[in-house]
C-alpha cells in the first residue's frame, strides 16, 4: 500500500499526506507525546485536537506496566477509546525506555528489566513488543530495536582510539540485533492479521535504522532494514547525546538513501531548529517531549526566540506570550505574561496547562508553516531567515 502521497519536494524538503486507517496526516508532522495515556501538563485531547495535533505517540513501556495493554484491549478495545482520542496513534516499541533502565539484562532475544515502579521483573522481545502495540490498537507500530548509547564510560582509561573501537562494536552489535528483531517484529505483525483484514483497516509497521554516528554502521543498518518491506522508516539512536552537527551529518547521508515513497521518521527530535534542519534534509515525522517539558519548566517558544517566563522582567508585562501566535492562550484568552509569570512562580497547575498548550501549538504552527513554505517553494529562504530569529 502506498501510504505516503508526496505533494511537493522543495530542495530535499518534502510536503505530503500520510494515510493511516484513522485518516490523513499532513506532513511534515510533529507528534506530541501522550506517554501514559495523557498529555503531560493537564492538556486534554480536545485541546490537543483544537491546537492542530493530527497524531500522538503512546509509550508501549509505560502503558504495558500501567494500566496494561491487555486491560485496555479487553475493556475498551483500544487506546483510542480508553483515552478518548480518535485520530491516529503511533506507539514506540518500548525498547528506548527499557534500554535506559539500569537494572536490565540484554540477551540475543530481548531484554529482562525491572519495572521502575515496583522493581518487578519483566521480559520484552520483538513478539511481545508488537503484541502490546497490537493490543493497544496503534495505527503505526514500531519494530523492537536496540538503541545503543552515543558515548560509553571509560573506567579503565582506554585511549580515545580504543574507546571509539569499543563503541563501534557495541553499536555494531546493536545494529545486528536491530535487524534480527526487525524481522521478528515483522513476522509477528504479519502473522497476527492473516488474510482477514483489508489493507485499509490494517495498521502500519515502521522499521528503525540504528548505527549511531558511524557512517559504515548506519549504511549497513539502512541496507538491511530497507530490504524489508516496512510501511515507513525511522532513524533511531539520535538525539541521545551527540551534537546537532553530528546528527545533521547522519541525516545528510541517510535521507538520500531512504526510499522516497515511504515516510521518514526522526525519533525523539527535537528543538525547533532541529526540526527545520531535519525537514530541509527530507524528514517527514517527529516526536519529542521537549515542547511540553520545557513548558512545565517555564521555557516558552516564540517566533522570535525563547523566553523564560520566571524572569522578573515579565512581572508587569501586559503583552501576550507571542503576538504572532494563534494559540488559545495568546489569541483567544489573551493572557498576559504578567499573569502567566505569576501563576508559574507560585506553582499553579494552570500555568503548566497554559504554557504546555502554547508550546505544543507553537510546534504545530512551525510544522504547518514549513509545509506551506515547501508547497510554495519558499522553504530554503524562509529557513535561513527564521532560524536566525529563533536562535535569539
CA distance 277 to 145: 25
Residues 131-150 touching its own copies, rule: CB under 8 A, are none
Tell me the number of residues near its own copies by CB under 8 A. Answer: 39
Q: Which residues are within 8 A (CB) of 369 and not within 5 positions of it... i.e. 6 or more apart?
A: 382
Strands 110-114 and 104-106 turn out to be antiparallel
Binding flags for its own copies, 347-366, as an x/- string (CB under 8 A):
-xxxxxx-------------
What sign results for the dihedral spanned by CA atoms 187, 188, 189, 193? Answer: positive
Q: Which is nearer to its own copies, 141 or 329 (CB)?
A: 329
37 binds its own copies (CB under 8 A): yes
Smallest separation (angstroms) from its own copies to the CB of 34: 10
Smallest separation (angstroms) from its own copies to the CB of 98: 18
Smallest separation (angstroms) from its own copies to the CB of 292: 10
43 φ/ψ angles, rounded to the nearest 5 degrees: -90, 130
Instruction: Based on DSSP, count helices (H) and strands (E) in the chain, helices before strands.
Output: 14, 16
Binding flags for its own copies, 320-339, as an x/- string (CB under 8 A):
-------------x-xx-xx
User: Of the listed 92, 139, 145, 284, which one is catalytic?
Assistant: 92
Q: For residue 324, what is its C-alpha cell?
A: 504572532
244 binds its own copies (CB under 8 A): no
122 binds its own copies (CB under 8 A): no
Task: Work out which of 17, 19, 44, 50 binds its own copies, going by CB under 8 A.
Answer: 44
* CA-closest candidate to residue 358, choices 375, 344, 372, 379: 344
Q: Which is nearer to its own copies, 166 or 334 (CB)?
A: 334
Task: Work out which of 313, 318, 319, 388 binds its own copies, going by CB under 8 A.
Answer: 318
Q: Which is nearer to its own copies, 64 or 286 (CB)?
A: 64
Binding flags for its own copies, 88-117, as an x/- string (CB under 8 A):
------------------------------
Considering only the stretches 21-29, 38-46, 265-273, 300-308, report the one whose residues sit in contact with its own copies under the rule CB under 8 A. 38-46
Binding flags for its own copies, 72-91, as an x/- string (CB under 8 A):
--xxx-----xxx-------
* CA-closest candidate to residue 303, choices 261, 380, 365: 365
**Torsion angle, CA of 342/344/349/354, rounded to 10 degrees?**
90
Considering only the stretches 178-186, 192-200, 215-223, 315-323, report the one whose residues sit in contact with its own copies under the rule CB under 8 A. 315-323
Strands 232-235 and 264-266 turn out to be parallel
Active site residue 180: no
Smallest separation (angstroms) from its own copies to the CB of 366: 24
Distance of CA 285 to the CA centre of its chain: 8
Q: How many CB atoms lie within 10 A of CB 191?
A: 10
Q: How many CA atoms lie within 13 A of 110 on its CB side?
A: 17
Q: Which is nearer to its own copies, 177 or 353 (CB)?
A: 353
CA distance 2 to 282: 18
Active site residue 317: no
Smallest separation (angstroms) from its own copies to the CB of 269: 24
Smallest separation (angstroms) from its own copies to the CB of 348: 4
- DSSP-derived 3-state class of residue 391: coil
User: Of the listed 125, 139, 284, 287, which one is catalytic?
Assistant: 287
Strands 264-266 and 285-287 turn out to be parallel
Question: H-type helices in the chain, by residue range?
Answer: 45-50, 60-65, 69-76, 79-83, 95-99, 126-136, 160-191, 215-226, 244-254, 272-280, 290-296, 337-346, 349-375, 379-390
Q: Which residues are catalytic?
A: 92, 287
Contact set with its own copies (CB under 8 A): 36-44, 46, 62, 66-67, 71, 74-76, 82-84, 315-316, 318, 333, 335-336, 338-339, 341-343, 345-346, 348-353
Amino acid at each position: 500500500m502506498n501510504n505516503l502521497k508526496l505533494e511537493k519536494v522543495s530542495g530535499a524538503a518534502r510536503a505530503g499526506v500520510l494515510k493511516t486507517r484513522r485518516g490523513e496526516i499532513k506532513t511534515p508532522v510533529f507528534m506530541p507525546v501522550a506517554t501514559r495515556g495523557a498529555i503531560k501538563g493537564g492538556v486534554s485531547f480536545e485541546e490537543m485536537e483544537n491546537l492542530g495535533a493530527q497524531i500522538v505517540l503512546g509509550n508501549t513501556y509505560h502503558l504495558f506496566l500501567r494500566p496494561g495493554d491487555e486491560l485496555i484491549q479487553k475493556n475498551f478495545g483500544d487506546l483510542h477509546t480508553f483515552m478518548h482520542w480518535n485520530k491516529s496513534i503511533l506507539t514506540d516499541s518500548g525498547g528506548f525506555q527499557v534500554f535506559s533502565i539500569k537494572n536490565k539484562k540484554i540477551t540475543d532475544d530481548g531484554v529482562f528489566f525491572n519495572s521502575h515502579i515496583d522493581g518487578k521483573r519483566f521480559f520484552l522481545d520483538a513478539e511481545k513488543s508488537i503484541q502490546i502495540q497490537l493490543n493497544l490498537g496503534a495505527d503505526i507500530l514500531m519494530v523492537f530495536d536496540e538503541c545503543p548509547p552515543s558515548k560509553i564510560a571509560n573506567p579503565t582509561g582506554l585511549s580515545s582510539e580504543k574507546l571509539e573501537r569499543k563503541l563501534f562494536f557495541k553499536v555494531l552489535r546493536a545494529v545486528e540485533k536491530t535487524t534480527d528483531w526487525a524481522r521478528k517484529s515483522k513476522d509477528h505483525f504479519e502473522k497476527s492479521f492473516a488474510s482477514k483484514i483489508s489493507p485499509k483497516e490494517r495498521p502500519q509497521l515502521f522499521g528503525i535504522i540504528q548505527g549511531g554516528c558511524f557512517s559504515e554502521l548506519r549504511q549497513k543498518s539502512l541496507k538491511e532494514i530497507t530490504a524489508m518491506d516496512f510501511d515507513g522508516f525511522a532513524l533511531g539512536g539520535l538525539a541521545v547525546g551527540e551534537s546537532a552537527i553530528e546528527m545533521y551529518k547522519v541525516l545528510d547521508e541517510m535521507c538520500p538513501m531512504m526510499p522516497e515513497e515511504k515516510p521518514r521518521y526522526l525519533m525523539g527530535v527535537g528543538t525547533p531548529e532541529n526540526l527545520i534542519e531535519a525537514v530541509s534534509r527530507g524528514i517527514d515525522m517527529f516526536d519529542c517531549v521537549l515542547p511540553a517539558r520545557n513548558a512545565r519548566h517555564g521555557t516558552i517558544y516564540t517566533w522570535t526566540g525563547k523566553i523564560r517566563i520566571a524572569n522578573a522582567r515579565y512581572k508587569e508585562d501586559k503583552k501576550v506570550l507571542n503576538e504572532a501566535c494563534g494559540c488559545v492562550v495568546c489569541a483567544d484568552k489573551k493572557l498576559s505574561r504578567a499573569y502567566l509569570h505569576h501563576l508559574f512562580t507560585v506553582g499553579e497547575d494552570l500555568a503548566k496547562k497554559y504554557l504546555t498548550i502554547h508550546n505544543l501549538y507553537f510546534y504545530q504552527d512551525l510544522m504547518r508553516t514549513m509545509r506551506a513554505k515547501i508547497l510554495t517553494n519558499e522553504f530554503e529562504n524562509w529557513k535561513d531567515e527564521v532560524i536566525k530569529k529563533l536562535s535569539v
